[in-house]
């Protein structure tokens, strides 16, 4: 007889509206234009999603320079891109579709508006993350200064009379960011804040649910990829709330089961780029080792939905020159 395990399943968890939209953009492009469809970087940070799209004819590339001329669509990922990327694509006459999450675009617009008003911009975010690269790349080099942690605030070169504003990455830890912002505001009271929080609803809601569940369990499994910022933050939240084991697992295969020996209560959540099928797979794997009693911890209900880009929705988005590329749906290859 397997030992009992109480599982607290967080809600909301998994896919957010931005990820659903980005995947829809790629699948709609495949239907409208046929394979291959090129996607710059992982469309979302999840191997399962990426592999499923590869099997349908999506080719993932690192830079637009890898996309051949000829009209096949090149899609930009949900994380957004620096301005130089669509500029390079336009110079090469590539047909591009932007799957940037509208909540990332909102941060881009904020940064641009601050810049127009002559403010120096501080971006709170993780160095090297694609979203950070994209946000910094909305403005000329030097216009945006990155701050990753509280200690960075003391090193900022600005003075008490500089016009300043901050924006943040959308997928940060709500608690860490609060501390960084408090340090920024203490040093620069004149600093302009975003009109609405930049950390997105999905990040905030998933962290809140993990926080609630983690108080009641010994261990936590977050389903998500190691390069997924919001999944990493969920694991950290569980650890901070006192879970003695807090794991990030891309799939059931990644779980070191020895760490869960003797555990009687376990929280489960999933990052915004992790499909529900992976949560189910992990619950199935748990069920082969434990007798499960699953309860749901609901801290918010989500109904956010982002429509596809209008032209894609209406099927009127055409490659440069106005012709559908060879291999498109109309030509019977799909």
Residues that bind ligand SF4 (CB under 6 A): 16-19, 78, 101, 103-104, 170-171, 200, 202-203, 230, 272
Catalytic, out of 131, 216, 241, 314? 131
Between strands 219-223 and 265-270, the pairing is: parallel
Residue 229 CB, shortest distance to ligand SF4, in Å, is: 8
> What angle is formed at CA 263 by the lines to CA 211 and CA 231, rounded to 5 degrees?
35
Q: How far apart are CA 237 and CA 242, in angstroms?
A: 9
User: Closer to ligand SF4 at the Cβ: 85 or 183?
Assistant: 85
Residue 249 CB, shortest distance to ligand SF4, in Å, is: 19
Residue 14 CB, shortest distance to ligand SF4, in Å, is: 11
User: Closer to ligand SF4 at the Cβ: 96 or 230?
Assistant: 230
Between strands 245-249 and 164-168, the pairing is: unpaired
**For 202, which DSSP code?**
H
The DSSP string of 121-179 is EEEES-TT-HHHHHHHTTS-TTSEEEE-SHHHHHT----TTS-EEEEE-TTS-HHHHHH
Can you list the pairs that 189-193 forms with residues at least 24 positions away whose Cβ atoms lie under 8 Å?
A: 190/160, 190/161, 190/162, 190/163, 190/164, 191/122, 191/164, 191/165, 191/166, 192/114, 192/119, 192/163, 192/164, 192/165, 192/166, 193/165, 193/166
User: Closer to ligand SF4 at the Cβ: 28 or 230?
Assistant: 230
Are 137 and 171 spatial neighbours (Cβ–Cβ below 8 Å)? no
Residue 32 CB, shortest distance to ligand SF4, in Å, is: 22
User: Closer to ligand SF4 at the Cβ: 202 or 266?
Assistant: 202
Q: How far apart are CA 154 and CA 169, in angstroms?
A: 20
User: Closer to ligand SF4 at the Cβ: 127 or 242?
Assistant: 127
Q: How far apart are CA 130 and CA 136, in angstroms?
A: 10
Specify whether 280 is catalytic. no
User: Closer to ligand SF4 at the Cβ: 78 or 153?
Assistant: 78
Give the CB-nearest residue to ligand SF4. Answer: 18
Number of H helices, E strands in the chain: 11, 12
In the three-class reduction of DSSP (H, G, I as helix; E, B as strand; rest coil), residue 268 is classed as strand
Residue 101 CB, shortest distance to ligand SF4, in Å, is: 3
Catalytic residues: 131
């Amino acid at each position: 007889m397997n030992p009992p395990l109480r599982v607290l399943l967080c809600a909301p968890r998994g896919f957010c509206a931005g990820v659903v939209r980005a995947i829809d953009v790629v699948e709609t492009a495949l239907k409208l234009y046929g394979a291959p469809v090129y996607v710059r970087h992982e469309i979302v940070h999840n191997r399962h999603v990426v592999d499923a799209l590869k099997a349908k004819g999506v080719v993932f590339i690192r830079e637009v320079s890898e996309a051949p001329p000829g009209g096949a669509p090149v899609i930009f990922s949900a994380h957004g891109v620096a301005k130089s990327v669509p500029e390079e694509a336009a110079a090469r006459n590539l047909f591009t579709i932007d799957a940037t999450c509208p909540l990332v675009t909102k941060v881009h617009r904020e940064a641009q508006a601050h810049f127009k008003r002559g403010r120096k911009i501080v971006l709170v975010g993780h160095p090297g993350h694609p979203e950070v690269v994209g946000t910094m790349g909305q403005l000329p080099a030097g216009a945006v200064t990155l701050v990753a942690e509280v200690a960075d605030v003391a090193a900022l070169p600005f003075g008490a009379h500089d016009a300043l504003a901050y924006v943040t990455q959308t997928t940060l830890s709500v608690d860490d960011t609060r501390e960084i912002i408090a340090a920024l505001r203490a040093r620069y009271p004149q600093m302009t804040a975003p009109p609405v929080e930049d950390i997105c609803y999905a990040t905030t809601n998933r962290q809140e649910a993990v926080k609630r569940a983690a108080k009641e369990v010994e261990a936590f499994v977050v389903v998500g990829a190691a390069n997924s910022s919001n999944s990493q933050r969920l694991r950290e939240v569980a650890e901070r709330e006192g879970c003695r084991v807090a794991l990030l697992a891309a799939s059931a295969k990644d779980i070191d089961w020895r760490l869960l020996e003797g555990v009687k209560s376990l929280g489960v959540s999933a990052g915004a780029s992790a499909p529900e099928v992976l949560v189910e797979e992990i619950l199935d794997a748990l069920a082969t080792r434990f007798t499960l009693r699953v309860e749901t911890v609901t801290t918010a209900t989500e109904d956010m939905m982002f429509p596809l880009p209008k032209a894609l929705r209406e099927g009127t988005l055409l490659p440069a020159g106005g012709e559908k590329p060879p291999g498109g749906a109309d030509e019977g290859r799909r």
